[in-house]
Amino acid sequence: MAQNARDNRISRRSWLLAGLAIPLFRARGADELPPPRFDGDILQPVLPNIHFLTGKPLERLTNGNTVAFVAQITLFTDDRHTTLKYSPIQRFILSRDIWNETFKVTIPALTPHDRIGLTTTQAEVWCLENIVISAAEVPTDKPLWLRCDLRTVHQDDLSRVVGDKGISFLSIFEYLSRKAGSSEPQWSFETPRPFRLQDLPRQLFGRVSRLA
């Protein structure tokens, strides 16, 4: 009986982890990234200067709606054949003050959660700087590849995927299994060559969320 219960727990945990490991991006190949920044605790991808507060997301914000983005980092080994680790789904919830045209960004993984009065550039930078993955238990001498995926949450799925109590595993599993629609901007980035933690210089960078 105890063994069966243990097997059930393992199976359930494996299913949940498999759901979170589903790539957020499926439509095209990933753009190239340099090796990530490393502070001895976390890895932060060096993302390009992308602008995601445009088009449909900006239109929704201008109309007084909340817009959410989700991001995930995956670490690979064995020439990308083995998934070593992936970050929890990282959430960025944005709203806009239509009178002074500034943004509020809520990142639930941070304390305090909110930043207000941000310009478009400041809001984008604050989100991108907080896409990170913990380096805990990552071997320092093993060749690694990093992939970072970012996409919007469709307005119809906002309440199911992002809520006060966090993300529902089942909702995320269902949501990420679907192909993104044309109104859901998405980006994917990947380091084209391997790197090792022991070769990365230790850097001090901005305060970011510490995620397992």
Query: Which parts of the chain have pLDDT scores under 50?
Result: 1-28, 169-170, 209-212
Rounded Cα distance, 86 and 109, in Å: 16
Given strand 133-134, what is the order of strands in its sheet? Answer: 37-38, 42-44, 133-134
How much is the pLDDT for 88? Answer: 86
Rounded Cα distance, 51 and 121, in Å: 8
Rounded Cα distance, 148 and 167, in Å: 19
Give the chain's mean pLDDT: 79
Percent of the chain scoring above 70 in pLDDT: 69
Q: Where are the domains of the chain?
A: 2-199
How much is the pLDDT for 113? Answer: 87
How much is the pLDDT for 91? Answer: 86
Cβ atoms within 10 Å of 79's Cβ, excluding its own: 9
Cβ atoms within 10 Å of 210's Cβ, excluding its own: 12
Cβ atoms within 10 Å of 123's Cβ, excluding its own: 22
Task: Kindly report, residue by residue over 41-53, the tens digit of the pLDDT.
Answer: 999 999 988 899 9
Q: Is the peptide bond before 112 cis (omega within 30 degrees of 0)?
A: yes
Structure tokens at 78: 């064995």
Rounded Cα distance, 81 and 74, in Å: 12
